[in-house]
Structure 1
Amino acid sequence: MNIPIKSLHCFMVLAETGSFTRAAEKLYLTQPTLSKLIQRLEDHWQQQLIIRGPHGLALTQAGELMLLRAQEILGHWHLLDEDLSHLSGLQRGNLKLGVCPMMSSLVIDLLTGFRQSYPGVNLEMSEFGGFGCERALLANTLDIAFTALPATHEEELTAQPLTAYPLWACLPAGHALSAKDVLDWSDFGALPFIMYNEDFALAKLLHKRARAAGVELNIAYRSGQWDFIATMVEAKMGLAILPAPICDKLSDKALTFRPLLDGSSWQLALIWRSHMQLTPAADAFLRLSRAHLAATGDPAAE
């Protein structure tokens, strides 16, 4: 019996969601239909793939191996589909793009430009933190992704820098540190600090910079939403560090911003798997990004 690509896709979605209910909704299937598809896979290999427990689903050893191979097979199938569509001038196809939430408003011009240049290509966007984008790329569920450098899996990923923005300290209005023109890492000392979620590359960068200066940040709260971070700072729950373009959007809040002495910056980039050829749609998106950088005179285009 041949196993359809669709069945592997359904198994992968079930493994990712950990729930028959959520997977069926995402796949637009009924739960009994999805259960039958998984049962056929188990019957074919005579292996139990999932364990149904009171706290959700878990993969067996066979299920873990199935997930790994399904991701590889679907990744290559997607690449084949994109290669064939490229023969007709990229008039159709799919682009699976990862975007970090903080970057969404900064990359809208590229997304709009791609949609206008390739209207027949279906653009599938998923939001992840930087680490989440990396994991999705390595699992072959994304073609290319926006992230902040440095990447964690540098040996497995290729990066194309896009642009860099300075990082500014974010203080509540009237804070004692606002009397200084420039802040050093030592200024944060034991003061409560509001950090990004752990899967954000920016969190890794801030920890690295602070520790290089001999400072261990006192993490009081974490969030993946820059507007919520700013609101917490305004409420005097702690200090934070935000990229300059994000600070520019916060003119309605009672906040003060100061540059950092070491000139730390937020470097945005596109990343993709080094060991796999870019799909035609992803390659077109990368070329468009380089053209955009060249037109704006950003040195990252060089």
Structure 2
Amino acid sequence: MSSPLPKSLPSPSTLGLGFALPPLSALGPVIALLAAGLFFGTQSDRFLSGQNFSLILQQVMVVGIIAIGQTLIILTAGIDLSCGMAMALGSVVMTKFAVDLGMNPYLAVLCGMLVTVLIGFINGALVTSIKLPAFIVTLGTMNIAFAVTQLYSQAQTVTGLPDAMGFFGNTFQLGAATFTYGTVLMLGLYVLTWLFLRDTAPGRHIYAVGNNPESARLTGIATNRVLMGVYMLAGLCYGIASLMSVARMGVGDPQAGQTDNLDSITAVVLGGTSLFGGRGSIMGTLVGVLIVGVFRNGLTLMGVSSVYQILVTGVLVILAVATDQLTHKKG
């Protein structure tokens, strides 16, 4: 007599190992990052060195922090085109307050961050109260922030900064590589955001609002309050990125951040966060940021023109968005 069949078969995703593998949407960016690393490692002897890895982290430090705020907004099915210009305005405000007004550097940094949070507040207020599309609202505030930055700075770079503003650009040695304190702060912010989204009620509310705002409202979630909080929290991220930009370059640059909005959106989408909202991971965004940094660094080491680097980034984001669209339709 044959033995009875088991009541249930193990899921293919467990592979009989007793634990579930991450979904393909989470594994895909990691596989892409590893594949890119292996490819560029075969093209340049310098690519796989610890020093080059630390350089990649320094290069993506500012965009990486901006992408945290961008992820929170995209999780709610919104988008923020003003992030780069908000960051530039914050950096100009904090540096000019410190240099021209002689303000205490820590207070000047706080003022710069308050400006970026204010931009987030304006974006959130227009999205929630007037129900304007986030794309239109942030396109408008992007242009306003750019104009205010140029007018206030008179399109001049701010120099002669106090040493305190350059702290996060300082380096320390770890093995054969040199890292900045700013990269440590960036990685720490990703961990904190991951814990916030995973383990707190407000974090879970962000996913709920992005997935279905009407259902979230009917369950008692204050959707407008969640959206306001998300845009203001994103503004705080842009303020921190302002300080990182100042620390990395040693100046307040009114021309900074002009492509950071597209770079941050690219990183978020490459990391697997859906533009339709409600699905994604902040750690996926970190992987997406690293993918962009690895491609640009690797192509630079290969001697490829920066024009082709932009071309490759554009192809990557189109592929990622197309995958997101097909997955959404299938769902």
Q: Identify the structure with the greater helix proportion.
A: 2
TM-score (norm: length of structure 2): 0.22
Q: Identify the structure with the greater strand proportion.
A: 1
Whichever of the two has the greater Rg, that structure is: 1
